Amino acid sequence: MEYNRCGKSGLKLPQISLGLWHNFGSVDSFENAESIAKMAFDKGITHFDLANNYGPIPGSAETNFGKILKNNFQGNLRDEIVISTKAGYGMWAGPYGDWGSRKYLLSSLDQSLKRMDLNYVDIFYSHRFDPETPLEETMSALDYAVRSGKALYAGISNYPPEQTAEAAAILKKLGTPCLIHQVKYSMFVRTPEEGLLDVLEEKGIGCIAFSPLAQGLLTDRYLKGIPENSRASNPNGFLKAEDITEEKIKVIVALNDIAQSRNQSLAQMALAWLLKDNRITSVLIGASSVGQLQNNIDALENIDFTKAELDKIEGILAFV
Q: Which domain holds residue 104?
A: 3-216+277-303
pLDDT at 305 over 70: yes
Please indicate, yes or no, if residue 272 is contained in any of the structural domains.
no
CATH number of the domain where residue 9 is located: 3.20.20.100
Q: Kindly indicate the confidence band of residue 233, based on its pLDDT and cuts at 50, 70 and 90.
A: very low
Reported confidence tier of residue 190, pLDDT bands at 50, 70, 90 = very high
pLDDT of residue 248: 87
What's the mean pLDDT in 304-313?
97
CA 307, 308, 309, 312 dihedral sign is positive
Q: Does 312 fall in a domain?
A: no
Indicate the number of domains in the chain.
1
- pLDDT over 70 for what percent of the chain? 94
- Tell me, yes or no, whether 182 lies in a domain: yes
Instruction: Give the amino acid at 273.
Output: W
- Whether residue 191 lies inside any domain: the answer is yes
Return d(Cα 74, Cα 232) in angstroms, integer.
Answer: 37
Q: For position 228, what pLDDT does the model report?
A: 58
Residue 224 lies in a domain: no
Mean pLDDT is lowest, of 115-119, 167-171, 250-254, for: 250-254
Contact 123, 152 (CB under 8 A): yes
Dihedral angle over CA of 296, 297, 299, 304, nearest 10: 140
**Is 233 within a domain?**
no
Amino acid at site 83:
I
Radius of gyration over every alpha carbon of the chain, rounded to an integer in angstroms: 19
Residue 28 maps to a domain? yes
Q: Give the number of residues written for the chain.
A: 320
Rounded CA separation 134/195 (Å) = 23
pLDDT 10s digits, 3-20:
999 999 999 999 999 999
Is residue 223 in a domain? no
Please provide the DSSP assignment of 117-167 as one string: T-S-EEEEEE-S--TTS-HHHHHHHHHHHHHTTSEEEEEEES--HHHHHHH
Three-state secondary structure call for residue 96: coil
Q: What one-letter code names the amino acid at 24?
A: F
Backbone phi and psi for residue 133, each to the nearest 5 degrees, phi listed first: -115, 135
Residue 140 amino acid letter:
S
